[in-house]
Amino acid sequence: AQKITQTQPGMFVQEKEAVTLDCTYDTSDPSYGLFWYKQPSSGEMIFLIYQGSYDQQNATEGRYSLNFQKARKSANLVISASQLGDSAMYFCAMKLSYGKLTFGQGTILTVHP
């Protein structure tokens, strides 16, 4: 069975600094996708970045990058130049070929001015 683990319940970062949110996964399926979402206090789920299991390069989207280490089964999210608006809950999720997402427990990020 597939599993996603986020071991950091909460993280703090100073504004303008970079922060890494950890995510490890477990699956025996060779084809999968890894997602990161941001959930502000409003409750909406905002898609940030995607990494496919066969992608050779790490995904990047603006200030977000995904540090994909396949052998270690990790997919850490790196946020560069943190902003106050980055304060939110962040979820890592995995999608197998049949479509449904499995989520980690989430990490609350707090950006200090």
Partner 1 sequence: SAVISQKPSRDICQRGTSLTIQCQVDSQVTMMFWYRQQPGQSLTLIATANQGSEATYESGFVIDKFPISRPNLTFSTLTVSNMSPEDSSIYLCSAGQGAYEQYFGPGTRLTVT
CB 6 within 8 A of CB 105: yes
Hey, what's the torsion of the CAs at 36, 39, 43, 47, to 10 degrees? Answer: -40
Task: Tell me: does residue 90 bind partner 1 (CB under 8 A).
Answer: no
Cα(103)–Cα(51) distance, rounded to whole angstroms? Answer: 15
Task: Tell me: does residue 52 bind partner 1 (CB under 8 A).
Answer: yes
Cα(2)–Cα(47) distance, rounded to whole angstroms? Answer: 21
Which of 1, 44, 71, 113 is the binder for partner 1 (CB under 8 A)?
A: 44
Least spacing, CB of residue 113 vs partner 1, in Å: 26
Task: Tell me: does residue 43 bind partner 1 (CB under 8 A).
Answer: yes
What is the residue whose two structure tokens read 């996708």?
Answer: 33
Nearer to partner 1, 64 or 103 (CB): 103
Task: Tell me: does residue 30 bind partner 1 (CB under 8 A).
Answer: no
Which stretches of the chain bind partner 1, using CB under 8 A? Answer: 31, 33, 35, 37, 42-45, 47, 50, 52, 91, 93, 95, 97, 99-106
